[in-house]
């Protein structure tokens, strides 16, 4: 490529998503997907779309009103449709939030070990960042977030990924109160598996934005639906940015199917409960196999073996068609992030590990 041409191209180091292998018969515990199908109401919603494909002729509702209204009904708490922003997965929502709120010369604060997409967006949007190290137990050091220092923003994944550790709501509240000068984004991708949610605080704290997703606890990673909850002024600011970028982000099927899964609270509670039970069992079984791990409140466990190398275990599991996630970062390369699957999938994992670790 011509140098003058190359110079005009924006260069970024992209986020690397987990593998989605094409093979059948694999046990996929590498991207924190839900091992159970979505709520049965999804089938009817899809049938409704199939019955009238002509609906797809028209642009969808640009405000995603059906989905936002369903979210407002689902949460209650005095929240209204305009307390919600929806996007194509919470990755899209987080990217829009970074673009909207992190518009200052002061740095945006987040932990050194957290969702690695945060620094990719910061880089893409030219946002200054400050990473504060987690302590030796992978805990967030609260004092870093409570210091009276001018910041451009704060992002906290709660529970954190890939550590699985949760912080109390009280801490998030103190952070938002200590930093009224910037927006605090709380990424609650895993909150349904045992964390404490801050949603009830959004109308009390004008600088708090909570982000959640349908990808994990609602078994809809393939549909791509995420949302933010915040006071109406914050949400309006995000909508203005979105309408300046793509006014029709939420397609018609996503709006209809997303609203349908929210109706089934019982199915939701049952699948979450099954995953939590399997996770607690996994803590016992992995400990017996010689692993240590932070106390996960999510649908994954971040585990380190007492003697065998993580990359070795990762490769050996892959040979047995079991996929887990391994990250190469300095403080995390001794760990494997293992998504909680069905009890049968987990049994297969324990027997494979038994052979590998012999």
Give me the residues that bind ligand PLP (CB under 6 A), please.
Answer: 32, 89-91, 115, 157, 161, 187, 189, 213, 215, 221, 226
Residue 234's CB: how many other CB atoms inside 10 A? 22
- Report the residue number, 276 or 356, with the smaller CB distance to ligand PLP: 276
| Burial state string for 158-182 with b = 16 or more CB within 10 A and e = fewer than 16 | bbbbbbbbbbebebbbebbebbeeb
- Report the residue number, 227 or 353, with the smaller CB distance to ligand PLP: 227
Residue 311 C-beta: closest distance to ligand PLP, Å: 22
- Report the residue number, 225 or 356, with the smaller CB distance to ligand PLP: 225
DSSP 329-358: STTTTTEEEEE---HHHHHHHHHHHHHHT-
Residue 89 C-beta: closest distance to ligand PLP, Å: 3
**Tokens at 298, concatenated:** 């999510």
User: Is 273 strand, coil or helix?
Assistant: helix
Nearest Cα residue to 118 out of 29, 186, 181, 192: 186
The helix, strand and coil proportions of the chain, stated in percent and rounded to the nearest 5, come to 40, 15, 45
- Report the residue number, 83 or 215, with the smaller CB distance to ligand PLP: 215
- Report the residue number, 30 or 278, with the smaller CB distance to ligand PLP: 30
Task: Report the interhelical angle of 232-243 vs 89-101 (nearest 10°).
Answer: 100
Tell me the CA distances in angstroms from 324 to 303, 306, 321, one per residue in order.
11, 18, 10
**Tokens at 93, concatenated:** 């929502």
In the chain, the DSSP E strands lie at 27-28, 84-87, 108-111, 129-132, 153-157, 184-187, 208-213, 226-229, 291-292, 300-305, 322-323, 335-339
Residue 290 C-beta: closest distance to ligand PLP, Å: 26
- Report the residue number, 91 or 192, with the smaller CB distance to ligand PLP: 91
| Burial state string for 6-22 with b = 16 or more CB within 10 A and e = fewer than 16 | eeeeeeeeeeeebeeee
- Report the residue number, 31 or 278, with the smaller CB distance to ligand PLP: 31
Minimal CB distance residue for ligand PLP = 89
Residue 209 C-beta: closest distance to ligand PLP, Å: 13
- Report the residue number, 177 or 241, with the smaller CB distance to ligand PLP: 241
Residue 184 C-beta: closest distance to ligand PLP, Å: 15
- Report the residue number, 78 or 222, with the smaller CB distance to ligand PLP: 222
The whole-angstrom separation of Cα 17 and Cα 37 is: 22
Residue 238 C-beta: closest distance to ligand PLP, Å: 16
Residue 356 C-beta: closest distance to ligand PLP, Å: 26
Residue 324 C-beta: closest distance to ligand PLP, Å: 15
Residue 221 C-beta: closest distance to ligand PLP, Å: 5
Residue 57 CB-density burial (10 A; 0-12 exposed, 13-18 middle, 19+ buried): exposed
Residue 117 C-beta: closest distance to ligand PLP, Å: 7
CB of 162 within 8 A of CB of 294? Answer: no
- Report the residue number, 89 or 341, with the smaller CB distance to ligand PLP: 89
């Amino acid at each position: 490529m011509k140098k003058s041409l190359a110079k005009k191209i924006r260069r970024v180091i992209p986020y690397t998503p987990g593998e989605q292998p094409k093979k059948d018969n694999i046990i996929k515990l590498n991207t924190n997907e839900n091992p159970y199908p979505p709520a049965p109401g999804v089938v009817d919603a899809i049938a409704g779309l199939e019955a009238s494909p002509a609906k797809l002729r028209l642009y969808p509702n640009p405000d995603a009103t059906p989905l936002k209204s369903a979210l407002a009904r689902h949460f209650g708490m005095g929240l209204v449709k305009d307390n919600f922003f929806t996007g194509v997965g919470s990755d899209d929502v987080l990217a829009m939030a970074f673009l909207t709120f992190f518009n200052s010369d002061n740095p945006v604060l987040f932990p050194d070990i957290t969702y690695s997409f945060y620094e990719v967006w910061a880089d893409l949007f030219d946002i200054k960042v400050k990473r504060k190290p987690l302590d030796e137990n992978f805990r967030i050091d609260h004092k870093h977030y409570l210091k009276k220092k001018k910041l451009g923003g704060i992002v906290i994944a709660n529970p954190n990924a890939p550590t699985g550790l949760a912080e109390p709501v009280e801490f998030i509240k103190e952070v938002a109160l200590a930093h009224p000068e910037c927006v605090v984004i709380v990424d609650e991708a895993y909150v349904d598996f045992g964390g404490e949610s801050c949603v009830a605080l959004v109308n009390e704290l004008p600088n708090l934005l909570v982000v959640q997703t349908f990808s994990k606890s609602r078994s809809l990673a393939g549909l791509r639906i995420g949302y933010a909850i915040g006071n109406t002024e914050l949400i309006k600011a995000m909508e203005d940015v979105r309408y300046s970028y793509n006014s029709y982000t939420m397609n018609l099927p996503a709006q209809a199917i997303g609203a349908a899964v929210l109706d089934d609270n019982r199915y939701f509670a049952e699948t979450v409960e099954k995953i939590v039970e399997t996770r607690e069992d996994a803590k016992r079984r992995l400990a017996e196999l010689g692993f240590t791990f932070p106390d996960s409140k999510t649908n994954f466990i971040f585990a380190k073996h007492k003697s065998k190398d993580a990359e070795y275990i990762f490769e050996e599991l892959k040979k047995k068609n079991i996929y887990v996630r391994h990250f190469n970062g300095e403080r995390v390369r001794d760990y494997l992030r293992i998504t909680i699957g069905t009890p049968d999938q987990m049994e297969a994992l324990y027997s494979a590990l038994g052979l590998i670790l012999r």
